Amino acid sequence: MEVSYQTSEKVYLATAPLGTVRGNIFRTTNSGTDWTNITGILPDRFPSDIAVDPINDNIVYITFYGFGSGHVFKSTNSGDIWADISDNLPDIPAPAVVVDPNNINHIYVGTDVGVFVSTTGGGNWQDFNDGLPGAVQVMDFNITTVNNVIRVMTHGNGAYERKLLSQISSSIANELPISSGFMLEQNYPNPFNPITRIQFAISSRQFVSLKIYDILGNIIATLVKEEKPVGEYEVEFNGANLPSGIYLYQLKAGDFIETRKMVLLK
């Protein structure tokens, strides 16, 4: 359940599926006297969280558990029409969503492999996991405007806080996406079985290494280990001989280092 910041009479409510009855989303604009079903095109999955825009209660976000469908949806007309904004998020459960009150275009989503942030009101998601354990399962968010931090509650790994992206200096914020010309993209497809592709770019001739790790930090494979000229590259990884699970891939090129997560599902 989530209440409008402008009026307590407007409330959004999600129900859980039960037996053959699917979960639904409802809206009231008169404190619960009347409810309107606004489920629409939303997937028949277990709804996990709702976030209402702090400035405009016509804008609402909802996340879902499960696999095989969108996990984050947005409406700009109080739920009458929904749009799937999952974009490049991995196809895994998304238990949490929250909107930055300092910049309503900054949307945070918590998933079973960590935190992602969009700076465009949804879609084009970027990793936001610095300081968190690897592949942590995020269950809930809290934003405190007193010190402008986002707090992350995890499943079995404690609670963490970090400065909101809107409060980080512009030089750091501009690294999402990376502006230096060095870039490591999210693998696709993700999750994968058993083959996935990884793209990266370098803006100067560098010795490049691209390695795959398991969740314990053991090296599984080395995909690239050589000097490369400026350009964009794509390599293929085959996990046919690996068990299902979460894996990490890390690109090193000069001073540039970035790590991303991927999910093998068999």
The per-residue pLDDT for range 71-128, each reduced to its tens digit, is: 999 999 999 999 999 999 999 999 999 999 888 999 999 999 999 999 889 888 988 9
Long-range contacts of the stretch 13-19 (C-beta < 8 A, 24+): 14/47, 14/50, 14/62, 15/47, 16/46, 16/47, 17/44, 17/46
Local confidence band at 25 (pLDDT 50, 70, 90 cut-offs):
very high
User: What span, in angstroms and rounded, lies between the C-alpha atoms of 126 and 158?
Assistant: 23
Which pLDDT does position 176 carry in this prediction? 43
Q: What's the rounded mean pLDDT across residues 173-202?
A: 77
The CATH code belonging to domain 183-264 is 2.60.40.1930
Q: How far from chain centre, in Å, is Cα 121? A: 12
Comparing 34-38, 113-117, 181-185, the range with the smallest average pLDDT is 181-185
Residue whose C-alpha is closest to residue 93's, from 29, 57, 46: 46
Query: Does pLDDT of 36 surpass 60?
Result: yes
What is the torsion angle, in degrees rounded to the nearest 10, for the CA atoms of residue 72, residue 76, residue 80 and residue 85?
-20
Which pLDDT does position 180 carry in this prediction? 53
Report in angstroms the alpha-carbon separations of 126 from 57, 107, 228, 244, 257: 25, 10, 26, 24, 15
Structure tokens at 67: 């696999």
Angle at 149 between CA 117 and CA 155, to 5 degrees: 70
* Domain range list for the chain: 2-173, 183-264
Share of the chain above pLDDT 70, in %: 95
User: Is the pTM here over 0.85, yes or no?
Assistant: no
Q: Which CATH class is domain 2-173?
A: mainly beta
Run of H or E including 232: strand 231-238
